[in-house]
Structure 1
Amino acid sequence: MDRPTKRLKTEPDTSPPDTPNASRSLPSLSKSITPPPSRSQQSTPPHAIPSPFQLTKIFAQSSLSDNNVDTVRLGDILGDPMIRECWQFNYMIDVDFVMSQFDADVRGLVKVKVVHGSWKREDAGRVAIEEACSRYPNVEPVIAYMPEPFGTHHSKMMVLLRHDDLAQIVIHTANMIPFDWKNMCQTVWRSPLLPLQQSADPPGPGDVGSGARFKRDLLAYLNAYGRGKTGSLVRQLSQYDFGAVRAALVASVPSRQKANQTDSQRETAWGWPGLKDTLRRGPASREKKKPHVVVQVSSIASLGQTPKWLHDVFFDSLAAAAGTRVEPKYSIVFPTPDEIRHSINGYLSGSSIHMKLHSAAQQKQLHYMRPYLCQWAGDIVTRAGGHRRPAVGDDWTAGGASLPGKRDAGRRRMAPHVKTYIRFSDVDTMDTIDWAMMTSANLSTQAWGAAPNASGEVRISSWEIGVVVWPGLFDAETMVPCFKRDLPAKETRETQTLVGLRMPYDLPLTPYSADDVPWCATAKHEEPDWQGQLWG
């Protein structure tokens, strides 16, 4: 197929993510044929490196809002007419929505593969995907291998192959539906544009965090789908040079592995064993202060009536660090019903945020988790009459208002579908970061793997994917949290090289009060949300 001819560079399209461009003549004339320069290539102070994670744009607020600075839209990722092939890996996929994001001139030419886990023939998700794919000759559904009854295909990744012989990997937290890309808090990691390799890959797996290791682990993940499903993608990606990648891949595939026999130098480790190995071999820890590991998720599954898995398996994995070890403090950020009520979409936002609280076993889990739980927005107060309201304003329109003593991330009124795991170097100041991970994986044994059984075997049920970053990967001394910007604040970068980490939540954290409970989507909520709607 001939490559598209080059066209004029003008301003990028600013239409919402679910608005097709087909009604305009030659829409690609209003867009660049190549992505804008990476933020690291733009004019920035020599000691500042922008965040490797970006937040998605909030469409309910103005593009000029300081909450939308440095944010990314789905159209920014898929709208380049140089894309020739696109692989979409996800849990929920609206095929029409995805197709609307491609440049109108090449929408019918891009080869699109839709990888999902709806394997039952009568499954509504499968029926909808197959019906939609049948309307696009260039779109093909691919059903992931799902051997575990409670597993899901939860990974959220795009692989883009281009006419200019470049490739890009995009790992994110959003389902491929309009709702997730409009007004929920989501995050995105994008690799650099990767060229075809000029020489063979170096021997050995490479260091953790290197492009060579990332490539090996990504190809191992893709190979787990089976040659008949992803073989063509593996063959193509194997020809690309991943040397510019600065991240470690941490993923899960349905599998069983011996935890005590895991050797990531020989083969990729999955789930919590892979995470533990990455943190032990990769980020250097600062041992001067007590660290603080913050787990922030959109779903908490049944973890057992005792804290054995949470403490002995998962927290132990998060505590792994090169060199000596100081036991961190742990917190879990999860929204309350009050925060869901006052989010942009009100109760509707809570449809994709889950923790069950009905049974006695679930109440026991809540009891041992309560000391770790922190609010998402951290600004709900009790007003006259006992009503719980935001401290500033009564609805999402006050989302930009600052609270005294809070570093404002600009996402207080956007319900979280993002999943982040961050180790702050100092529990008291939380002003530097040892490492950060964004991933599709929530807090569950299905996603991360169960505790080892009697034979030492770890069972993983789901497909998940994410990346871990730390300052040393960018030749930086320090990583710092950034608020409403991807670059470190000027006053923090005068004497050393800093890399930013865009925060999805405010700091410092606000622990649950005695009256707070986690949001439960299967419970009845009789207090109206800010739009006057009830739930349940």
Structure 2
Amino acid sequence: MSEHPAKRRRLSEGHDPPPAEVGAASGSGRGPASLARPISPPPRKRLARQERVMIPSPFRLTTIRDLPAASNIGAVSLQDLLGDPLILECWDFNYLHDINFLMNHFDEDVRSSVKVHVMHGFWKREDPNRAALEQDASAFKNVELHTAYMPEMFGTHHSKMLILFRNDDTAQVVIHTANMISKDWTNMTNAVWSTPMLPLFKTEENQEENHDFTTGSGHKFKSDLLSYLRAYNTKRSVCRPLADSLAKFDFSAVRGTIIASVPGRHAVETDPKETRWGWAALKQAMRAIPVQPGKAEVVVQVSSIATLGATDSWIQRTLFDSLSSAAKSSSRPSFKVAFPDASEIRRSLDGYASGGSIHTKIQSAQQAKQLQYLRPIFCHWANDSEKGVELAKGVAVRDAGRKRAAPHIKTYIRYGEKSIDWALLTSANLSKQAWGEAQSGSKEIRVASWEIGVLVWPELLAGNAKMIGTFKTDSPSAGELEGDFPLVGLRIPYNLPLQTYGKDEAPWVATMAYTEPDWTGMTWEGW
């Protein structure tokens, strides 16, 4: 399910700056051990005695305006991504766009000359969002709008990606979770993954040197990215020049697997060299990832949950089964879904205003049944609910520094008994439109929306590596997991351990009215 376009806030009054305690830490101390800046892994060399390779998190959180500096260590801003005066060309793929906001983040010396392409999904000419984009873009001679092909009625162009070309003959791909609007880059939790700077091939012959289609390889990443971009050309040439340009760059240093969705009907099983979409892509990738033996838990953390059905058939047999696939036979992990309730929205930095970007529904009979099977696995974004299941006594809370920055980020992480097996950062929420449905009686998958994400795991970044969660920092601590193997950090956006919903708790629903004032004194009338 996608975010709704920005709407007028239905709030009762204005508000003052956040109270001092909003950004305060909630706990400290060590917790379970199992818990980009562009990241290019170090050479795989023999470790010298007492030497250990430490690799920072491949995912970086975005900066939060109203949080203290201690919570923004290692975080990245939009200015960090777009402020380089060497940028010649930018392709911005997203659901919501504010052209003026986007342009203001380029270096002022190149703002009027950088060639900016904006990819959106508002295909109806009468759509007010399209009209607003066209009006804003008309003020810039260097901005060109492109409309994505949208064959599915309930689909959206939900991917969030920047592709940058610089005048030093390098390119970069940035996959992230934020809409291109101010709200998402100020007090909402989001995250970013970036490729290293990609060099231009020196000769055309070099482009054909590496045909390694192994899952996680740079060549496979490039192949899947180009397949994704070429899917925009179904009806007309939209991204052909972009794909042709990117094909000339060397992706060999990239470590990550694209998990994307493209609208339409697609074969579930294809040639391994061909790109799969939606849950079929997820299942294929999971089969290549080694996981630890023993108990495991997958945390699905999203900002939107669509109507999934009156029974748990789709979420269990389609999505969870795909997430449970593994390179070797292993027991099925347990699952949790992290999603905020109304109390967490009220206490967030922007109060109820944050709730306009976070969606699910529980009003209809079918939605009520959905809540019934989801409630046992629902967990809070912040683990400090008075009505939630009490945390085990003596367990230290690991503070991610984001519990008051409402989540727009989407992460899927598998926690093993001692370390993390894999992590996915994506635009895809918990919905059939994003991940697709298997077509009855066929070997096809039907996908409605455009989505893109990147999947990483420890051994992809360094041989024999282990991955552990990091909190308020991107760097792992050697003392958390003893050994001489390389240690990879993964920046966790939520506090651990997660707190399960209480029996009477329900998720935040933007279409419902909430009369209890938030911390600023505002109420929410619903949509």
Partner of 2:121: 117
The residue aligned with 2:413 is 422
Change over 3 Å in CA distance of 1:37–1:126 after alignment to 2: closer
The aligned residue for residue 520 of structure 2 is: 531
**Partner deviation per Cα, 1:202-257 (whole Å, 9 max, x = no partner):** 46451000000000000000000006111110010000000010100000000212
Aligned counterpart, 1:385: none
Instruction: Write the letter of the residue equivalent to 2:415.
Output: F
Contact 1:47–1:493 (CA under 8 A) maintained in structure 2: no
Q: Determine if the alignment matches structure 1 residue 270 to structure 2 residue 315.
A: no
Quote the Cα distance in structure 2 between the aligned partners of 1:425 and 1:452: 33
TM-score, with length taken from structure 1:
0.85
1:444 aligns with 2:448: no
- Tell me if structure 2 keeps the 8 A contact 1:166–1:195: yes
CA distance in 2, matches of 1:493, 1:434: 14
Contact kept, 8 Å, 1:173 with 1:417, in 2: the verdict is yes
Q: Distance in 1 between matches of 2:173 and 2:358?
A: 26
Amino acid at match of 2:217: S
Q: Distance in 1 between matches of 2:437 and 2:240?
A: 29
2:62 matched to 1:56? yes
In the alignment, is the contact (CA less than 8 A) between 1:262 and 1:273 conserved in 2? no
Counterparts of 1:150-165 in structure 2 under 5 Å? 150-165=154-169
The answer to whether residue 247 in structure 2 is matched with residue 238 in structure 1 is: yes
Please state how far the C-alpha of 1:489 moved relative to its aligned partner: 1.8
Residue 455 of structure 1 pairs with residue 442 of structure 2: yes
Runs of 4+ in 1 over 6 A off after TM superposition: 35-41
Identity of aligned residues (%): 51
Q: Secondary structure at the match of 2:232?
A: coil
- 1:455 Cα deviation (Å)? 2.2
Deviations 1:38-87 (A, max 9, x none): 7979xxx842100000000011124xx21000000000000000000000
Q: Unpaired segments of 5 or more residues in structure 2?
A: 1-35, 43-50
- Where 1:228 maps in the other structure, the secondary structure is coil
- Correspondent of 1:297 among 293, 298, 302: 302
1:446-485 aligned within 5 A: 446-475=433-462, 476-485=464-473
- Render the CA deviation track for 1:334-391: whole Å, top value 9, x for unaligned: 1011001000000110101001011000000110111111011010226xxxxx9x99
CA contact (8 A) 1:435 1:469 kept: yes
Q: What secondary structure is seen at the aligned counterpart in 2 of 1:225?
A: helix
Alignment of 1:94-113 (within 5 A): 94-113=98-117
1:364 matched to 2:364: no
Matched, 1:343 2:344: no
| Partner in structure 2 of residue 47 of structure 1 | 53
Show the counterpart of 2:398: 407
Deviations 1:265-315 (A, max 9, x none): 13100000011101112x21111x211011000000000111110111110
Determine the C-alpha separation between the residues in 2 that align with 1:206 and 1:434.
Answer: 21
Q: Aligned AA for 1:172?
A: H
On the 8 A contact 2:260/2:281 being kept in 1, the answer is yes
Structure 2 Cα separation of the partners of residues 445 and 342 of structure 1: 30
Maintained 8 Å contact 1:377/1:412: yes
- Unpaired segments of 5 or more residues in structure 1? 1-34, 383-387, 392-402
Distance 1:514 1:422 in 2: 25
Shift of 1:197: 2.1
Give yes or no for contact 1:48–1:493 (8 Å, CA) kept in 2. no
| Closer/same/farther in 2, CA of residues 103 and 38 from structure 1, 3 Å limit | farther
Kindly indicate whether the alpha-carbon contact (under 8 Å) linking 1:47 and 1:494 is maintained by their aligned counterparts in 2.
Answer: no
Normalising by structure 2, what TM-score? Answer: 0.87
Count of residues in correspondence between the two structures: 472
Aligned-pair distance for 1:451? 2.9
1:377 aligns with 2:370: no
Q: CA RMSD in A?
A: 2.0
Aligned residues of 2:37 and 2:193 also touching (Cα < 8 A): no
Q: Which residue of 2 aligns with 1:88?
A: 92
Contact 1:201-1:212 within 8 A present in 2 as well: no
Superposed, 1:129-208 pairs within 5 Å as 129-198=133-202, 199-202=206-209, 204=211, 206-208=213-215
1:224 maps to which residue? 231
Does the CA contact (< 8 Å) of 2:38 and 2:194 recur in 1? no
SS in 1 for 2:131: helix
